[in-house]
Every structure is written in C-alpha cells, then in structure tokens.
Structure 1
Amino acid sequence: MGKIKPLVVIVDDDESVCRAIKRLLRSVGIAAETFASGDAFLNTLLSIPSYHPDCVILDVQMPGINGLEVQRRLSGSGAPVIFITAHDDISVREQAFASGAVAYIRKPFSDDLFVRTVRAALESSQPPP
C-alpha cells in the first residue's frame, strides 16, 4: 500500500503567495490546499469534522481573523503551525512561538528553506512507526 501524501494547508490573503507555495509543495510531493482567509479555513474545519491537515501555514496579517487567532483556535489539533509574514515583529514572533508555532519565516523566503521547514514540521508531527 502506498503512503498517503501529507496535506498542508496554506492560509494567506495574497493569492499569488498561495499559488506559489502550493506549486512548490506539490513539486516535492506534498499535497496542498489554500484558503484566502482565516475565516474560510476555520469554517471548513467546523463544517467538515474529518478534515485534518498535517501542517498549517499561516500568514500573520490577514483581513478578518489574523494568523495568531487562527493558531489559537487550532490549539490541541496536533497540526504543526508555520507562520509566514512580510512584517517581522518580535512581539508577534514571540507570541507565535509561545503558542506552539514550529517556525516563523519572513517573506520573501527561499524555496529550499521553506521546503526543509515544512518537511521538518511534518516529520515532527508523525507518530513513530
């Protein structure tokens, strides 16, 4: 039986960022879905109880519910959270890590760093065989 591809969710209000990350992840064999807002992602989680992404990538600043609030609402889900942001603020970074984020990456970032970070997050969330 083949191994199921991990599912990574990208939540970012910038459509071009979503498209680029989705394409990058798919190019390395990782399934990805995108959401244009924290509200849309949280609504999907609420409406589809079986929906469990293996990793969530959140933009910090989005209209409506921001990335930190999405992270708070995901608490206890077990999915590692990686933040991406164009505006690096030390207090926001500290808050993200204090709430359990596994990484905090400033845009623009290198594809190699991003893929390594996502793979490390996915490996850390997998139960041992």
Structure 2
Amino acid sequence: MTEAKPFVAVVDDDESVSRAIKRLLRSIGLASETYKSGEDFLDARDAAPLRRPDCIVLDIQMPGIGGLDVQQRLAGSGIPVIFITAHDEPGIREQALAAGAAAYITKPFNDATLIDAVRAAIGATP
C-alpha cells in the first residue's frame, strides 16, 4: 500500500498566483487544490470533511472572507496555515503569527522560502 501524498490547500483570489503555487508544490511531490476565496475553501471543507489538508497556503486579503477570518474558523483544527500577502501591514503579521500561523510570507515570494515553509509545516524532509 502506498502512502498518500501530503495535500496542501492553496487559497488565493489571484488565479495566476494559485496556479504558480500549485505547480511549485507538484514539482516537490505534493498534491494541492486551489480555491479562489475563503468561502470556496470553507464550503469544500464542509462538503468533504475527510479531505483534510495537511497545510493551507492562505492569502490575507481576499473578497468576502479574508485569510485571518479563515484562520480563526480553523482554530483548534491543527491544520498549519502559511500566509502569503502583497500587503504587509503593521499589526496584521503579528495578529496572524499570534493566532498560530506557521509562516507569514510577502509577495512576490521566493520559491525556496515557500517550499521550506510548507515542508516545515507538514513535517516533510526534502
């Protein structure tokens, strides 16, 4: 029996960013699904509760439910959250990290930085 690949949920309203992250994750052997909004991700999670991601790469600012709200709704789930954002506003980083974010990365990001953060969050080795 083969072990399932770690699964990463990518939640970002910028489709090009989501596609790029999905390709990057695939290049290191990780499975991923992309969601264009916090609502889409939460709806998918509620519809298939057994399909639990090993990690979430989550944009801070999105229309509707933003990243910090999604993080709050996941509180206590044990799912590591890695934030990515183009808007590194004072206080937001501290709020995200204080609420348990595994990492907080600003866009544009270095591929190696994101890979290292995801691997650390899921406990994977290169």
TM-score by structure 1 length? Answer: 0.93
| Corresponding position of 1:127 | none
Q: Provide the C-alpha distance between the structure 2 equivalents of 1:42 and 1:23, rounded to a whole number of angstroms.
A: 22
| CA RMSD after TM alignment | 1.0
Q: Which runs of 5+ in 2 are unaligned?
A: none
| Corresponding position of 1:36 | 36
Q: Which runs of 5+ in 1 are unaligned?
A: 125-129
Partner amino acid, structure 1, of 2:79 = A
| Corresponding position of 1:8 | 8
Pair 1:109-2:109 in alignment: yes
Q: Which of structure 1's runs of 4+ aligned residues deviate more than 4 A?
A: none
| Corresponding position of 2:18 | 18
Shift of 1:24: 0.4
Shift of 1:3: 2.4
| Corresponding position of 2:99 | 99
Q: Provide the C-alpha distance between the structure 2 equivalents of 1:123 and 1:45, rounded to a whole number of angstroms.
A: 22
| Corresponding position of 2:73 | 73
Shift of 1:49: 1.9
Task: Give SS of 1:90's match.
Answer: coil
| Corresponding position of 1:49 | 49
Aligned length: 124
Q: Provide the C-alpha distance between the structure 2 equivalents of 1:32 and 1:113, rounded to a whole number of angstroms.
A: 18
Partner amino acid, structure 2, of 1:10 = V
TM-score by structure 2 length? Answer: 0.95
Cα deviation, 1:54-86, whole Å, max 9, x if unaligned, reads 000110000000000000001111110000000
Q: Provide the C-alpha distance between the structure 2 equivalents of 1:113 and 1:87, rounded to a whole number of angstroms.
A: 18
